[in-house]
Structure 1
């Protein structure tokens, strides 16, 4: 057995713990990545700028859920074929998903850029921060294809049992984002625009590195594949669409809450935005454990090791309880 196949060979609790820990650490750095803009803008520009960045969070999370759902749709099938050692089909899924979802990300990015002002008005964003919020949002949507690519490739890595590479890329991207934030916001005095531009650059570099690393990894699995397969795309969408709807439900709910908070003014919005950044640090731990279970189940399903699936479910519950206790104490 290859060391890449530990999700179908090691004991379930050990396999899930080894696999999930980098994902949990990754979620922590993802929040540092997200909080960097808020902290630096809030400290060096002011509460109005913090509120402008925070006002975009609920809306951008809805679009991020589309990227995450697309990644799940591709990742489940990649895991299944990887576990079954059908590497040609696995690589066909990879190629089909990258082409298809790149086009989708461009369409969504253009849509978001064109309607940023209208969407922020619908959310009742306070007038004194509306222009800054729209500016931040538009820069964000320019970089949306990079965000999409990074999330899909992260799912691809975890689907083949590799959760350390996405963690390394997140750490690198988070540190780069912080330094770029300080340079552009504090050094160049670009304010909200600088924070958005720093995030775009960090995401872009991270996405390009992810692509090169993943293509290099795929060279290990030598087999013929198709660049695009319509039937495989349909199979991905059958998984991706329910995943998008599931993940978007919470984000849409938070967006509605944000619309209720916004009319209370800039100070209330700044406080709400800061609190949500902290809350996400804890909630994403459990999301990461859930995301770790998906490749575990898919790989064992592909390898026809059905008895390991129930054991993996119980192991995931043990991890959930342990982290719930830890989060409560903190």
Structure 2
């Protein structure tokens, strides 16, 4: 952190030949600061939602499975975050490229980025689903191999939960895509719907409708509903941004 944060200060502190980036006297702009804050609203919403949804999951799991359910959910969160990190990393890595071409009004490149990203995410999602289904046993055994009942519950939950991997990548990318297009409102809406509203509704209703498996499929239902909204936002913005 020190290298990445301090070293650039010495490089950009004075003007250099051939380099157009250097420090100057800052100009205070409340409008630009507010715009930056609102554009980051989706990340704020994601972090708030994760805490609330995790608490709600634990309450429901205690009712359905007792302490074993909470332990199994903890394993799913560890494994799920590793898989989701692939989508998060790709989305954050491509965001500067999207922003650059959006600023340069390169609509053909935006189309290309969106089309190729959709293909990459689709392939990655299928690969993650397949690998998580195959590795559910070995991964669960690392964490809860000491208890046969808990191990069986975790493997079963992981196989249902992992279905969400074929959907979540599109929603994660969609939110980051609109952040890169400087549309914090749509980005925050996708995050709010995906990580809070749809999950809360699914956690509360699915166990009542389909039984205990509903708690593991809640995230799948939430991602599916969020994907419909993400697709709607992308179609709605196609004329404004010219990426379709």
TM-score when normalising by structure 2: 0.78
Q: Which runs of 5+ in 2 are unaligned?
A: 1-28
- Deviation, structure 1 residue 181: 1.8
**In structure 2, how many angstroms separate the alpha carbons of the residues matched to 1:17 and 1:200?**
30
In our comparison, the structure showing a higher alpha carbon Rg is: 2
2:112 equivalent in structure 1: 92
The alpha-carbon distance between structure 1 residues 31 and 167, as it changes in their structure 2 partners (threshold 3 A), is farther
**In structure 2, how many angstroms separate the alpha carbons of the residues matched to 1:26 and 1:142?**
21
1:32 equivalent in structure 2: 52
Correspondent of 1:171 among 188, 192, 197: 192
Contact 1:26 1:166 survives alignment (8 Å): no
Q: Which runs of 5+ in 1 are unaligned?
A: 1-8, 226-330
2:203 equivalent in structure 1: 181
Would you say 1:76 and 2:96 are equivalent positions? yes
Would you say 1:16 and 2:43 are equivalent positions? no
- Deviation, structure 1 residue 36: 3.0
Extract structure 1 runs of 4+ deviating beyond 6 A.
none
- Deviation, structure 1 residue 15: 2.8
Would you say 1:67 and 2:87 are equivalent positions? yes
Would you say 1:132 and 2:153 are equivalent positions? yes
- Deviation, structure 1 residue 44: 4.5
Q: Residue 143 of structure 1 aligns to a residue in which SS? A: helix
**In structure 1, how many angstroms separate the alpha carbons of the residues matched to 2:164 and 2:241?**
31
Q: Residue 105 of structure 2 aligns to a residue in which SS? A: coil
1:250 equivalent in structure 2: none
Would you say 1:146 and 2:167 are equivalent positions? yes
**In structure 2, how many angstroms separate the alpha carbons of the residues matched to 1:18 and 1:55?**
34
Correspondent of 2:239 among 219, 223, 227: 219
**In structure 2, how many angstroms separate the alpha carbons of the residues matched to 1:16 and 1:85?**
20
- Deviation, structure 1 residue 132: 1.2
The alpha-carbon distance between structure 1 residues 219 and 125, as it changes in their structure 2 partners (threshold 3 A), is farther
Would you say 1:209 and 2:204 are equivalent positions? no
Q: Describe the superposition over 1:20-45 as per-residue Cα deviations: whole angstroms up to 9, x where unpaired.
A: 23431332124333443223212443
Higher relative contact order (CA 8 A, sep 6+): 1
**In structure 2, how many angstroms separate the alpha carbons of the residues matched to 1:215 and 1:40?**
36
Contact 2:161 2:216 survives alignment (8 Å): yes
Would you say 1:108 and 2:108 are equivalent positions? no
**In structure 1, how many angstroms separate the alpha carbons of the residues matched to 2:192 and 2:181?**
20
**In structure 2, how many angstroms separate the alpha carbons of the residues matched to 1:160 and 1:123?**
41
2:140 equivalent in structure 1: 120
- Deviation, structure 1 residue 189: 7.4
**In structure 1, how many angstroms separate the alpha carbons of the residues matched to 2:124 and 2:176?**
17
- Deviation, structure 1 residue 10: 7.2
The alpha-carbon distance between structure 1 residues 11 and 184, as it changes in their structure 2 partners (threshold 3 A), is closer
**In structure 2, how many angstroms separate the alpha carbons of the residues matched to 1:34 and 1:198?**
12
Contact 1:74 1:94 survives alignment (8 Å): no
The alpha-carbon distance between structure 1 residues 148 and 203, as it changes in their structure 2 partners (threshold 3 A), is same
**In structure 2, how many angstroms separate the alpha carbons of the residues matched to 1:23 and 1:124?**
32
How many residue pairs align between the two structures?
214
Would you say 1:48 and 2:68 are equivalent positions? yes
TM-score when normalising by structure 1: 0.59
Contact 1:55 1:125 survives alignment (8 Å): no
**In structure 2, how many angstroms separate the alpha carbons of the residues matched to 1:100 and 1:10?**
39
Contact 2:45 2:191 survives alignment (8 Å): no
Correspondent of 1:155 among 158, 176, 186: 176
